[in-house]
Amino acid sequence: MTTRFSLLMAVGLLLAACGSASNAWTPLPSGAEPPAACARADADGVIAISADQLKFSAPCMVAPAGKPFTVRFTNKETQPHDVAIYEGRDKKTKYLEGEVFSGPGVTKEYPVSPLPAGDYYFDCVIHAEMNGALYLR
């Protein structure tokens, strides 16, 4: 009984360390503009985001539809992270799975091929509670 209790406590502590599940991915109503808090592609098509304390620096990203763009991702902590982009939260169609790497302060650039306009889902494959929406307009 003590071993089972210890195992349950260890699992609970591990889950608590990873944070709680997030519902950051939110498809927008038709015609709605992405929130101001989104990280946006610059004139060169680069979206800069980071990970710190098991969170992305922005809950969403915005890029132009039909054009290639790059996710410049900085890992500010020693935990391993990456960025993966999917058609939806069900992850049936994957458009990007970036290299998993640790920091602190390490940056990787993930090129993304042109995608049609729409609302996409992104997350860290290791920490699924780290997720958000990618809006292509």
User: What is the CB-side half-sphere exposure of residue 113 using CA atoms within 13 A?
Assistant: 5
- How many residues would you count in the chain? 137
Which three-class secondary structure state does DSSP give residue 126?
Answer: coil
pLDDT tens string 73-92: 999 999 999 999 999 999 99
Asked, for residue 35, whether it belongs to a domain, the answer is: no
Asked, for residue 76, whether it belongs to a domain, the answer is: yes
Asked, for residue 50, whether it belongs to a domain, the answer is: yes
Q: Which of 127, 124, 121 is nearest to 26 (CA)?
A: 121
45: left (phi over 0), alpha (psi -120 to 50) or beta: left
Asked, for residue 84, whether it belongs to a domain, the answer is: yes
Asked, for residue 21, whether it belongs to a domain, the answer is: no
38-45 LR contacts (CB < 8 Å, sep 24+): 38/62, 38/133, 38/135, 41/69, 44/70, 45/69, 45/70
Asked, for residue 107, whether it belongs to a domain, the answer is: yes
Asked, for residue 30, whether it belongs to a domain, the answer is: no
Largest CA distance in the chain: 60
Q: What is the CATH number of the domain that holds 123?
A: 2.60.40.420
- Tell me how many domains the chain contains: 1
Q: Among the residues of the chain, which ranges form H helices?
A: 2-17
Does the bond joining 104 to the residue before it have cis omega, within 30 degrees of 0? yes
Asked, for residue 15, whether it belongs to a domain, the answer is: no
pLDDT tens string 87-132: 999 999 999 999 999 999 999 999 999 999 999 999 999 999 999 9
Q: Which domain holds residue 57?
A: 41-136
91-100 b/e (C-beta count within 10 Å ≥ 16 → b)? eeeeebebee
pLDDT tens string 13-72: 333 333 334 456 667 888 889 999 999 999 999 999 999 999 999 999 999 999 999 999
- Would you state the pLDDT for residue 31? 81
Q: For the whole prediction, is pTM greater than 0.85?
A: no
